[in-house]
Structure 1
Amino acid sequence: MHVQRYSVAVATASDGSATAYSDQVNGLLSRIRYVKTDFADGVDFAITLEDTGETLWTQNDVNASATVAPRQATHSTAGVAALYASGGVAVNDMIAVAGRIKIVIANGGASKAGTFHFVTV
């Protein structure tokens, strides 16, 4: 298995906002690691795929470094949600990424920074 890590350092403007992009990313997204440098407590993230707008991670009021492993619901070839038979719970899988990842920050504090690491397999 080939594992790749992509890192994006993000710095906010004086109003606490920022938009940053990764380099080209290809693979199945395994996890996202946010490393807090000095973003203000209560920072908000919206991380999506640039070309399609698919959501990878959105969260408000983040106060500390965090790791998430985003997954999306799967579907049958008929376009129907795939469910575990016994409980009707959605079957989730890693998100395929082919392109740049867009990171939008709000409420990050004036001229503050943080880093995002994207790990794909």
Structure 2
Amino acid sequence: MKKKYIFGLIIILIFGVFMAFRINKDWTKYKEEFRQRQEKIVLYFVNHFELENGEEIKEIKVLSFRKHHMTGYWNCSLLINGKYHANVSENDRTREIDGASYDKEIESIKPPKNITKLEIKVEYLED
């Protein structure tokens, strides 16, 4: 009788360890994707917008990054140089950036820049 309990306990422990590794792997993948989405939005902002007064964009802080489940969009709130605000939306299904709203001191530029690596200070959200 004791052997059955010990065998059952061993099976439960093995299953528990397996699930712990599985959950950790999924969590790591989620955190990586969360960070990549933020990086993509910040890079998009740097390439498509500039400050109206000619001031250089030196730092961007991600204030919030949330998924709106009803619309299927990720909404990202940014603080530029510690004083200007912008909001950028990304479609969860297509992964395209579909819209932006921003302070009047920020203006859209055409054609967009072609920056592929961020050379500014960026503070991302940790989930």
For Structure 1 versus Structure 2, the TM-score category normalised by the shorter chain is: under 0.3
User: With structure 2 as the length reference, what TM-score do the two structures score?
Assistant: 0.24
TM-score (norm 1): 0.25
In terms of fraction of residues, the more helix-rich structure is 2
Q: Which has the higher strand share?
A: 1
